[in-house]
Each structure stands twice: as C-alpha cells, then as structure tokens.
A and B are shown apart, each in its own frame.
Chain A
C-alpha cells in the first residue's frame, strides 16, 4: 500500500516535472520584482553582492530576507534576534508542511527534505492547486520548486547588478500577479458552505491581523482560526463534499 497516490520515482517523472515548471511561469513573473528588490535592498543596507546571493541561495524566503536585511540596514546585527525573527516569520510553513505531510511522507526522506527546502508560499499554492485538479505528484512539486528557486537567485543577482540604476521595481505593478493567481486558485475551492466559511473567517482575521499583529502573524492567526472553524463545521454538518 505504499506508493498509492504518487507517481514517483518511475516513468512519469519528466512530463510531470515540466508541467510543474510550466504552471509556475505566471507566478514567477510576480516574484521577479521582489527578487530584484531584495538584491537592491541588500546592497543599500550594506551587504555585499556575495552575501545577498548567498542569503537567497540558502534561506530562499522572501519576507524573512526583506525583514532581516531591513534589520541589518538599521544597525540591528545580533545573530539571535535576526535568526529568531526569521523563525517567527517562517512559522507559517509549519502549517503548509502539515497540510502536505500526508502526500510527502510516502517519499524517500532525502526527497522529502529537498521538496521541503523549496516549499515557499508560491510553490505551496501551485502544488495544492495541482492536488485539487489531478492529485499529488512529487515531480510536479520539484519542477515548481526548481523554477522558483532559480528565479529567486537570478533576480536577486539582477537586483545586485542594477542597484543604483533602478529604484523600486515593486512600483511596476507586477506584484499584482501574486494575488491575481492566488484568486484563480482560491475561487474554485469555494464550492460549499464549509469552504466559504473558512474563506470568510480567514479574510476577516487576516485583515484585522495585518492591521494589528506584527510580521506575518496574520497568516498564522487567519489559517488557524479558519481551519478550526472548517474542521468543526465538517464534524457537525458533514457537508464536506
């Protein structure tokens, strides 16, 4: 009963991998301005180009990198405070990891580690959208991860090179690609009362949380509150499907 539900590691690896790459292209368009901004900000904050690239290669976490770079730029240079802040900002990945765990834990551990390293907001969204449409595929997830990872490093490098020539790539409006595509992924999920309630609670808590909570806590708060409501509603009403 071990390999049910995934097509790794045998024959269909390559096509699924390339479909993962292809499906990620629109979202990558939205990530490039952030990568460029990351490179520019890093140099502005006093990091070297080498350090900026190393951070993008090893950390691969947009929001955490922005905040760490901002802290370094304002003279906060303590290891503990920066690493601890990074941990708090990325705690939301525990929830994403838990929601993918049922699929991931069937794979070889080294592959689990590799896929987990590449799990960011965008690659998570792409992977769960594929699960909704066709089921889980490790190759697909790997394709999405590799495209985002490459794009993140290359765009950080472009930012480092262009630093001083351009000021604010986020003013281009391309950052709107992210919410637009996430909307296209969210709306097909809203097929019953439970899903609508989860979405409503998450929206409310996220907006209030974004106003009053520090950092990325609004994502964790919204996710916890809404999924508990969803779980409870399902238990009572059984209107899941």
Chain B
C-alpha cells in the first residue's frame, strides 16, 4: 500500500464521516429546535425526489424525454405499479422487467 494513497483514503473517510455525524453532534446538547424540525420534516420527500428525477430524466447525463429513454419508461411502469400494489419489491420487480424487456426488444 502506498503511503500517499493511505492518507488520501483516511482524509476522504474523515470528511465523509464529518458530513454524516456533524448534524447529530450540533444538536446534541440543545435538542432539535421546533422550527428546524418542521423544516427538516420535508427533507425525505425532497431527497427522494432529487435522487429519482435525474436518474430517470438524465440517465446518460443529458435530458432525454423520448421513448428511447428506457429509464423514463420503466420509471412510469414503476409509478403505476406503486399505485396499484404499494409494495417496494413488486415495484422494483415490475420496473426491472420493464427495463430488461425494453432492452431486449431494442426499442
């Protein structure tokens, strides 16, 4: 193992852990203020949306709203599946089946 590589990895590990633990440390003594909690309550919806949308609309890094975008089509299938079944495994399975069939059919 190269020494400089070792220290790069340790540096990356330290800052990554900082980003994950800092918020908890900050509120350790004071608790989370009510206004802040009311604001943070929406973070799950915001983060989930922010993680999903680009991977469906820009799977290759550019905006692609067409029937050639398999991620978008399979995403529509997954959305419909969620409405009907409300089950993550069913959603994922139907989404993946849609994804693989689109690929197989070469749409």
Q: Which residues of chain A come closer than 8 Å to B58, judged between CB atoms?
A: 207, 210-211
> Are A186 and B52 within 8 A (Cβ)?
yes
B25 → chain A, closest Cβ, in Å? 8
> Are A176 and B71 within 8 A (Cβ)?
yes
Complex Cα distance A116/B21, Å? 5
Q: Which residues of chain B come closer than 8 Å to A175, judged between CB atoms?
A: 55
How many A-B pairs fall under 8 Å by CB? 276
Complex Cα distance A54/B57, Å? 34
Q: Which residues of chain B come closer than 8 Å to A205, judged between CB atoms?
A: 50
Say if the beta carbon of B8 comes within 8 Å of chain A. yes
Q: Which residues of chain A come closer than 8 Å to B83, judged between CB atoms?
A: 187
B64 → chain A, closest Cβ, in Å? 11
> Are A226 and B17 within 8 A (Cβ)?
no
- Chain B residue total in the interface (Cβ 8 A): 74
Q: A-side binding surface: helix, strand, loop or mixed?
A: helix
> Are B49 and A176 within 8 A (Cβ)?
no
Q: Which residues of chain B come closer than 8 Å to A173, judged between CB atoms?
A: 70, 96, 99-100, 103
Contact size range, A: 35 or more
Q: B-side binding surface: helix, strand, loop or mixed?
A: helix
Q: Contacts A176-B95, A226-B42 given: A86-B47 contact, CB under 8 Å?
A: no
B25-68, CB < 8 A from A: 26-28, 31-32, 35-58, 62-63
B1 → chain A, closest Cβ, in Å? 5
Say if the beta carbon of B9 comes within 8 Å of chain A. yes
> Are A26 and B50 within 8 A (Cβ)?
no
Complex Cα distance A222/B57, Å? 15
- Select from chain A the residue with minimum beta-carbon distance to B43: A99
Complex Cα distance A173/B87, Å? 20
A218-232, CB < 8 A from B: 218-219, 222-223, 226-228, 230-231
> Are B6 and A54 within 8 A (Cβ)?
yes
